[in-house]
Amino acid sequence: MSVLLRGMRSDDVQAVAAIEAVSFAAPWSTDLFLQDLRTEGRFWFVAEGDGEVLGYAGAWVLGDEAHILNIAVRDGDQGRGVGRQLFEMARAAVAEAGAERITLEVRASNVTAIALYESFGLRGVGFRRGYYAETGEDALIMWGDAGRLRAPDEMLMLAIESSCDETAVAVIRGGHELLADVIASQVDFHARFGGVVPEIASRKHTEAIVEVVDEAMRRAGEALGREEPLGFGDLDALAVTHGPGLVGALVVGVSYAKGLALATGLPLVGVNHLEGHIFANVLADPEVAPPLVALIVSGGHTSLVHMSEWGVYRTMGETLDDAAGEAFDKVAKVLGLGYPGGPILSEMAAEGNRDAIDFPRAMLHSGDFAFSLSGLKTAVINHIRHEREAGREIDIPDLAASFQAAVIDVQVAKAVRAVKETGVRVFCLGGGVAANPALREALCEALRPLAVHVSVPPLHYCTDNAAMIAAAGFQRFLRGERLGLDAEAMPGLRLDTA
């Protein structure tokens, strides 16, 4: 059903009053509506769908100030953005009529409406105690600068990612346009240990975060053609990765974001790190939209996920033990090739023969979407030991190619099955291992005959970054989702409940 917005007419008043009667404890009568429609400085709009009134909004302009009276949407038509469109219509009309400020009162418990107004840049400035006489409930008074209210595609969000070993901050405008994308990698500090050391990760995040935020604000200012860095007052919202990941690492980003939200009054949104990896595709490819299947392969995860609509996920299967990236890292460590192992091994694999050594393809025929990589890792390590003990030189490119092929064969087979079973027309890859050229190619090749749109993220968005967190967070922000200031880092956060 398409929604039409237009000025309210007297023949709408009956339907409007009916919605009013179920939405407010002290509703206006049809007479009051009719009278107000005839009064100067009053603005009334309705949203119409299938010839019926779905909702309405009203505003008064008094001098340079506008007061939003009420916005209501019919039961059953809520949650589809009708309220947002009505507010935007009223806002544009009062700004046009010369209003500089907008005020309104909203039930203090109506978090959905408050989030909607916040997303237009309004801020809570105080309470009217016991304003709603029938229930004694408080009204939150909200205030915003009518001229400065931004449409969603003008809004600026700062996003923070600190779930593993990258301290990353991005500033995004309108969900798609990146103004800054700064990453401070700690990889050199972990390399000598052959893997991420959690204690080092948290300490390095603490050391880096203030500087990385400052740098992102500076670059965002530059991108907007300003001489000064962006100020926190220029922002409309904040997002942060609140799980899954290393708890001590997540805590740094989450605490910083909560502090910033408290100090600035900006709304804060929590993002699931794995959702971020899916949104690395959304950022780069406008065709990526649900329903879709995503394969997320990183140093910490190997999951096949079905996204039926924006924000709704079902994990179809995941690894029972090691993650794919972890297997790459461990094999590289045994070979003494350095850390992270994925990029080094995949480069070597390009020179080798994938059929040289027959490594196991665990769970290839398990009939489900689960993965297991620890057996493969052990088989590779045993092979290396065996060859060394026998005094034979190991052909590293052949070994790398054979190991990589064993990983890829299972991933591709399960991805194809997941696409067939769900019937989706879009598939995307995400996570650090998505940078692996052989995996990207094998997936594209296997899915092409199924006429599925395959999206692989640009290389710089494969590993951890805050741009992808910003893209995912912005969507959640517009949906009115918020993280409270009592929120905690959630190392085991599941995508299915995100």
Cα gap 290→305, rounded to integer Å:
11
CA distances from 279 to 34, 114, 177, 314, 379 (A): 48, 26, 13, 16, 34
436 binds, among Zn ion, ligand KG4, none (CB under 5 to 8 A by kind): ligand KG4
Residue 83 vs 473, nearer CB to Zn ion:
473
Residue 22 vs 459, nearer CB to ligand KG4:
459
**In sequence order, what are the residues at sequence separation of 6 or more whose Cβ sits closer than 8 angstroms to the Cβ of residue 485?**
258, 261, 262, 268
Cα gap 348→365, rounded to integer Å:
28
User: How many C-alpha atoms does 417 have within 13 Å on its Cβ side?
Assistant: 16
Residue 268 vs 468, nearer CB to ligand KG4:
468
Binding to ligand KG4 in span 159-178, by CB under 6 A: 164
Minimum CB–partner distance for residue 455 and ligand KG4 (Å): 16
Binding to ligand KG4 in span 387-446, by CB under 6 A: 431-433, 435-436
Out of 463, 467, 472, 482, name the contact with ligand KG4 by CB under 6 A. 463
Please compute Rg for the chain using Cα positions.
27
457 binds, among Zn ion, ligand KG4, none (CB under 5 to 8 A by kind): none
Residue 272 vs 463, nearer CB to ligand KG4:
463
Cα gap 311→476, rounded to integer Å:
8
Does the footprint of ligand KG4 cover residue 457 (CB under 6 A)?
no
290 binds, among ligand KG4, Zn ion, none (CB under 5 to 8 A by kind): none
Question: Angle 136-141-137 (CA atoms, 0-180°, nearest 5)?
Answer: 10
Does the footprint of ligand KG4 cover residue 118 (CB under 6 A)?
no
Please tell me the count of residues contacting ligand KG4 according to CB under 6 A.
20
Does the footprint of ligand KG4 cover residue 329 (CB under 6 A)?
yes
Out of 251, 464, 475, 498, name the contact with Zn ion by CB under 5 A. 464
Instruction: Give the three-state DSSP class for 174.
Output: coil
Does the footprint of Zn ion cover residue 118 (CB under 5 A)?
no
Out of 243, 248, 342, 480, name the contact with ligand KG4 by CB under 6 A. 342
Give start and end residues of each alpha helix (H) in 390-436.
396-422
Does the footprint of ligand KG4 cover residue 360 (CB under 6 A)?
no
Residue 179 vs 324, nearer CB to Zn ion:
324
Torsion of CA 435, 440, 443, 445, to 10 degrees: 180
Does the footprint of ligand KG4 cover residue 221 (CB under 6 A)?
no
Stretch that binds Zn ion, among 11-19, 216-224, 436-444, 457-465 (CB under 5 A): 457-465
Instruction: Give the three-state DSSP class for 181.
Output: strand
Does the footprint of ligand KG4 cover residue 343 (CB under 6 A)?
yes
Stretch that binds ligand KG4, among 82-90, 93-101, 138-146, 294-302 (CB under 6 A): 294-302
Cα gap 332→345, rounded to integer Å:
7
Torsion of CA 428, 432, 435, 441, to 10 degrees: -40
The DSSP H or E segment spanning 261 is helix 247-264
Minimum CB–partner distance for residue 252 and Zn ion (Å): 16
Cβ atoms of 154 and 125 closer than 8 Å: no
Residue 244 vs 267, nearer CB to ligand KG4:
244
Does the footprint of ligand KG4 cover residue 300 (CB under 6 A)?
yes
Q: How far is CA 297 from the centre of its chain?
A: 17
DSSP E strand boundaries for 84-164: 101-107, 123-132, 137-145, 156-161
Question: Angle 45-97-479 (CA atoms, 0-180°, nearest 5)?
Answer: 50
Stretch that binds ligand KG4, among 146-154, 325-333, 470-478, 481-489 (CB under 6 A): 325-333
Does the footprint of ligand KG4 cover residue 45 (CB under 6 A)?
no
Stretch that binds Zn ion, among 25-33, 125-133, 295-303, 323-331 (CB under 5 A): 295-303
Cβ atoms of 215 and 171 closer than 8 Å: no
Does the footprint of Zn ion cover residue 298 (CB under 5 A)?
yes
Tell me the CA end-to-end span of the chain in Å, nearest whole number. Answer: 29
Does the footprint of ligand KG4 cover residue 298 (CB under 6 A)?
yes
346 binds, among Zn ion, ligand KG4, none (CB under 5 to 8 A by kind): ligand KG4
Q: Which of 184, 172, 267 is nearest to 224 (CA)?
A: 172
Does the footprint of ligand KG4 cover residue 335 (CB under 6 A)?
no
Residue 119 vs 302, nearer CB to ligand KG4:
302
Does the footprint of ligand KG4 cover residue 464 (CB under 6 A)?
yes
Cα gap 9→190, rounded to integer Å:
67
DSSP strand pairing (268-272 vs 65-73) = unpaired
Minimum CB–partner distance for residue 166 and ligand KG4 (Å): 7
Residue 97 vs 247, nearer CB to Zn ion:
247
Q: Write out the residues near Zn ion by the rule CB under 5 A.
A: 298, 464
Q: Which residues bind ligand KG4 (CB under 6 A)?
A: 164, 298-300, 325-326, 328-329, 340-343, 346, 431-433, 435-436, 463-464
